[in-house]
Amino acid sequence: MDRRPDDAAPLCLVTGASGYIGGRLVPALLDAGYRVRCMARSARRLRDHPWAGRVEIAEADATDPESTRRALDGVDVAYYLIHAIGGGSDFGETDRRSARTFSTAARDAGVGRLVYLGGMDPEEDPSPHLRSRAEVGRIMLDAGVPAVWLRAAVIIGSGSASFEMLRYLTERLPVMVTPRWVHSRIQPIAIRDVLHYLVASAALPARVSRGFDIGGPDVLTYAEMMRRYAAVAGLRRRLIVPVPVLSPWLSSLWVGAITPVPGRLARPLVESLRNEVICREHDIARYVPPPEEGLAGFERAVSLALRRVREADVATRWSSASVPGAPSDPLPTDPDWAGGSLYTDVRDREVAAPPDRLWRVIEGIGGERGWYSFPLAWRVRGVLDRLIGGVGLRRGRRDPRRLRIGETVDFWRVEEIEPGRLLRLRAEMRLPGLAWLELGVADAERDGRVRYTQRALFHPHGLAGHCYWWAFKPFHDRVFGGMCRGVAHAAEE
Ligand SMILES: NC(=O)c1ccc[n+]([C@@H]2O[C@H](COP(=O)([O-])OP(=O)(O)OC[C@H]3O[C@@H](n4cnc5c(N)ncnc54)[C@H](OP(=O)(O)O)[C@@H]3O)[C@@H](O)[C@H]2O)c1
């Protein structure tokens, strides 16, 4: 049950609440008993968050002193989680301006504490991105308000730009021609541990005003992170071939081509990877104890981020109308490109039949009745599956009319059944990835007609998975298209 903060609880302002960190910090602060006000340039962007009804919302732009000052009125703790990276080559100037405007307004409003999360602050030749993040940190510390500047390297969590870059690069490329930066040392930290430190920073005594490095227990090169990611994700060992001539510019073009992380965001991130980003101190431990279960190591952080795919818990999200294509741990704060690849074949069709008749056809699919399209193709697929050690089509089904969760239907298993509405089957044939088939009755009956919906979903596993999807696409187009028509006709007959 949601915990409601009492009216006397300190008020925290979270900027960047529509972003990756801010969107996760809000519920963590609410759970810790704080009152929360979110600052966003557009209030609409926060409307669909599950916590939207439990927070105040202030519309403000950090470059605008007046709206920012209003947003900070009565605030005890202000979180600064804003950056302009990806917004053009003058992001440094924009970041400076926003940070100065915000910190001045915080001082004028009598805010008790500023908390800023930035990147690490390397001593030697920082990239423009890290230089700008450090500059913002210094502006916060000089604001005349007790400030905490948390410095983190790569944050491991689904939806974090740096993690998604690592995920896509590793999943899509079994052999990687990489620039030298894959050998810089990095100290990643799990998103849950970042949130632990962010929440605890709200209660630090006023005398604490300084920067803290925060990091997980592992120090790894990017190449090691890729190899370990592959191991946790169950992919084959990745071969990494460093090529010194790959400049950051060329690398970011290549990252842009291989991953869906937008090039304008990938470039500053890639440039920053030339810097060693490891903690130089761990003073935060003097003020904030580590989480009860300890700081998460790299493998644990990755497996937490990938957990939902393993448990196939993704479906709660897939069943929603707006499929974001994120099979790992999708939250409303995740950008569109987060969450790994998900291929879909989505179809629907009006059916001139009452909903219960359509549902009977759906629930009776497979086994003796078959799959309503190209029976020979389904049989061949079953035989091929048996040849490579899979279960094939022979398992059939227990009852020709009724299905229960957990039962088998040929090479599928019933994963979800909402009588009269949705049947979700999970593939158990041998595949380089995870696959689901959803058959549903969408709309209530209108004029004696109802809508049949059908979705095939495929989460590829490594390059082989992507090749499989595209190689079989023409075949799947025909089979799934035929199936959609076949189910509809069967219900109409
Ligand atoms: N993600 C990581 O891996 C990582 C790693 C280390 C440190 N950090 C630090 O964590 C902080 C938050 O990063 P993030 O990954 O959460 O960023 P993000 O997802 O890109 O979100 C950035 C947020 O800033 C807001 N914003 C930008 N300009 C604004 C302005 N002028 N006024 C008001 N809001 C503005 C955006 O709001 P709109 O919706 O209006 O655009 C958005 O909510 C940054 O300081 C970053 O350096 C992140």
Site to probe by mutation for ligand 1, drawn from 25, 38, 41, 96 as the one with most ligand atoms within 8 Å of Cβ, is: 41
313 pLDDT band, cuts 50/70/90, is: very low
Ligand 1 binding pocket includes 152 (Cβ within 6 Å): yes
Best-predicted range by mean pLDDT (13-27, 227-241, 399-413)? 13-27
What integer is the mean pLDDT of 447-466?
A: 87
- Give the whole-angstrom CA distance, residue 73 versus residue 328: 38
Residue 264 and residue 355 share a domain:
no
Best-predicted range by mean pLDDT (142-156, 320-334, 421-435)? 142-156
User: H or E segment at 433?
Assistant: strand 433-441
What integer is the mean pLDDT of 53-60?
A: 95
Tokens standing for residue 259: 């991953």
Residue 44 and residue 180 share a domain:
yes
321 pLDDT band, cuts 50/70/90, is: very low
Q: How many domains does the chain have?
A: 2
Query: Residues 435-440: contacts with CB within 8 Å, 24+ apart?
Result: 435/459, 436/312, 436/315, 436/318, 437/412, 438/318, 438/319, 439/362, 439/365, 439/487, 440/362
Site to probe by mutation for ligand 1, drawn from 13, 20, 133, 261 as the one with most ligand atoms within 8 Å of Cβ, is: 20
Give me the pLDDT at residue 338, please: 63
340 pLDDT band, cuts 50/70/90, is: low
Model confidence at 182: pLDDT above 80: no
What integer is the mean pLDDT of 49-62?
A: 93
The rounded Cα 443 to chain-centroid distance in angstroms is 30
Residue 265 and residue 211 share a domain:
yes
Residue 289 and residue 416 share a domain:
no
Q: Which of 318, 334, 353 is the last residue of a domain?
A: 318
94 pLDDT band, cuts 50/70/90, is: very high
**Ligand 1: residue whose CA is nearest its atom 35:** 82
Residue 290 and residue 368 share a domain:
no
- Residue 4 falls within a domain, yes or no? no
- Give the whole-angstrom CA distance, residue 207 versus residue 210: 9
| pLDDT one-digit tens code per residue, 352-387 | 999 999 999 999 999 889 999 988 888 888 888 888
What integer is the mean pLDDT of 174-203?
A: 89
- Residue 29 falls within a domain, yes or no? yes
292 pLDDT band, cuts 50/70/90, is: very high
Q: pTM of whole model > 0.85?
A: no
Q: Which of 318, 353, 386 is the last residue of a domain?
A: 318
- Residue 6 falls within a domain, yes or no? no
Model confidence at 34: pLDDT above 60: yes
- Residue 331 falls within a domain, yes or no? no
The burial of 107, by beta-carbon neighbours within 10 Å (0-12 exposed, 13-18 middle, 19 or more buried), is given as middle
334 pLDDT band, cuts 50/70/90, is: low
275: domain CATH number is 3.40.50.720
**Ligand 1: residue whose CA is nearest its atom 20:** 19
3 pLDDT band, cuts 50/70/90, is: low
| pLDDT one-digit tens code per residue, 114-143 | 999 999 999 888 989 999 999 999 999 999
Percent of the chain with pLDDT over 90: 52
- Residue 463 falls within a domain, yes or no? yes
Residue 314 and residue 352 share a domain:
no
Average pLDDT, the chain: 86
Residue 421 and residue 293 share a domain:
no
* Nearest ligand 1 atom, CA 45: 39
Do the bridges between strand 450-460 and strand 343-351 make them parallel or antiparallel, or are there none, so unpaired?
antiparallel
Site to probe by mutation for ligand 1, drawn from 15, 70, 83, 121 as the one with most ligand atoms within 8 Å of Cβ, is: 83
403: domain CATH number is 3.30.530.20
Ligand 1 binding pocket includes 14 (Cβ within 6 Å): no
- Give the whole-angstrom CA distance, residue 128 versus residue 139: 16
Q: Which domain holds residue 199?
A: 11-318
Kindly give the distance from the C-alpha atom of residue 380 to the centroid of ligand 1, in angstroms, as a whole number: 51
Residue 229 and residue 190 share a domain:
yes
- Residue 324 falls within a domain, yes or no? no
Model confidence at 189: pLDDT above 80: yes
Model confidence at 7: pLDDT above 80: no
Residue 272 and residue 170 share a domain:
yes
Residue 349 and residue 209 share a domain:
no
- Residue 24 falls within a domain, yes or no? yes
Model confidence at 200: pLDDT above 90: yes
Give me the pLDDT at residue 143, please: 95
Give me the pLDDT at residue 449, please: 84
Model confidence at 392: pLDDT above 50: yes
Residue 402 and residue 280 share a domain:
no
Model confidence at 16: pLDDT above 80: yes
Model confidence at 322: pLDDT above 50: no
Kindly give the distance from the C-alpha atom of residue 22 to the centroid of ligand 1, in angstroms, as a whole number: 8
Ligand 1 binding pocket includes 198 (Cβ within 6 Å): no
444 pLDDT band, cuts 50/70/90, is: low
Ligand 1 binding pocket includes 84 (Cβ within 6 Å): yes
Give me the pLDDT at residue 46, please: 85
- Residue 414 falls within a domain, yes or no? yes
Task: Pick the closest to residue 176 from 222, 218, 220, 219 (CA basis).
Answer: 222
333 pLDDT band, cuts 50/70/90, is: low
Give me the pLDDT at residue 329, please: 41
- Give the whole-angstrom CA distance, residue 272 versus residue 218: 19
Site to probe by mutation for ligand 1, drawn from 24, 47, 82, 278 as the one with most ligand atoms within 8 Å of Cβ, is: 82
Separation in Å, CA 175 to CA 227, 230, 232, 461, 462: 11, 12, 17, 15, 11
What integer is the mean pLDDT of 186-209?
A: 97
Packing angle between helix 263-272 and helix 128-141, nearest 10 degrees? 80
Residue 396 and residue 305 share a domain:
no
| pLDDT one-digit tens code per residue, 139-156 | 999 999 999 999 999 999
70 pLDDT band, cuts 50/70/90, is: very high
| pLDDT one-digit tens code per residue, 230-274 | 999 888 888 887 776 667 677 777 777 777 676 777 778 888 888
**Ligand 1: residue whose CA is nearest its atom 8:** 118
Give me the pLDDT at residue 317, please: 31
Say which residue, 434 or 292, is predicted with more confidence.
292
Kindly give the distance from the C-alpha atom of residue 81 to the centroid of ligand 1, in angstroms, as a whole number: 5
For residues 175 and 238, the answer to whether their CB atoms sit within 8 Å is: yes
